[in-house]
Structure 1
């Protein structure tokens, strides 16, 4: 028989996609508590787009293999003033989603506004506020980098919103590679 606290645990990988820097953060939710597992950044070299996307996808596949999350949360792309930047960010996001889907993991998505609202209580919070709140919520000894903090914030947002209501093993369905 599995102890209750293990039965109600889930490992979440949060991803803050970016073409230059993609942040990732892994946490465990056990019951109603969150525990930090790992975080970091994938930095792509200057060069052609296909090679940069491969670095993102391969690096995140390695993170998935190493930490064995049960689900992935990716920040949704917002529309920039510069459409070219939005398209490039969308491609980085696509590489991140492909890494998750290739590992047969469900993917949830939240806007930056939703993530900041869930973690800081203000959808227009500054990066420093997100970093400070992530540090506090996960009892980290230091402040994570901005990109890692955003990724951890995505995971925290999902843990507090969907997973507080139900566990993926008990009723959440995957539709087209996304939790629903």
Structure 2
């Protein structure tokens, strides 16, 4: 299964693409989509859409996993991140790619085993689980890979549950 993880934003959108087969991970790609502050919001969202579309076409993922919006005290930031999330969801839907959403707590639980883990712990485990030489940079790319790992673990558990329920 190829999973496209997204850490949404409108200034910086992180992405990470992994292959998950037989309980093994392989990194296919990761990075960020950046938009310049001086660019008008609609154009910034178009840039994110265009770049995500290119990446989805290149990697042809089976699923997209996106971090759910975590309400923080800065409403302006939350709304801005929501714009980026919306673009990611729309781009995946238009490409016919199923989208799975995970809370920050679920991502930390899946990657570290502890839902209140610190950012540094998550980044370290991303490096370890994916067999990388160093922690992916920038942080947004590492976060996107973590969301992809979360989906790999969650989808694996769902498959196991279905098999047990079917009596196989």
Fold shared by both chains (TM-score > 0.5): yes
| Matching residue of 1:53 | 45
* 1:134-149 mapped onto 2 (5 Å cutoff): 134-145=126-137, 146-149=139-142
Is 1:23 the equivalent of 2:14? yes
Which structure carries more helix by proportion? 2
Q: Which runs of no fewer than 5 residues in structure 2 stay unpaired?
A: 164-168
Paired residues in the alignment total 159
Q: What RMSD over aligned residues (CA atoms) do the two structures have, in Å?
A: 1.5
**Which secondary structure does the structure 2 equivalent of 1:24 belong to?**
strand
| CA distance, structure 2, for counterparts of residue 163 and residue 13 of structure 1 | 16
Q: Which runs of no fewer than 5 residues in structure 1 stay unpaired?
A: 1-9, 171-180
| Matching residue of 2:159 | 166
Runs of 4+ in 1 over 3 A off after TM superposition: none
| Matching residue of 1:108 | 100
| CA distance, structure 1, for counterparts of residue 15 and residue 4 of structure 2 | 7
**Which secondary structure does the structure 1 equivalent of 2:156 belong to?**
coil
Is 1:128 the equivalent of 2:120? yes
Q: Which moved more, 1:125-134 or 1:111-120?
A: 125-134
| CA distance, structure 2, for counterparts of residue 18 and residue 125 of structure 1 | 22
**Which secondary structure does the structure 1 equivalent of 2:159 belong to?**
coil
TM-score w.r.t. structure 2 length?
A: 0.89
Query: In structure 2, which of residues 3, 10, 25 is the aligned counterpart of residue 34 of structure 1?
Result: 25
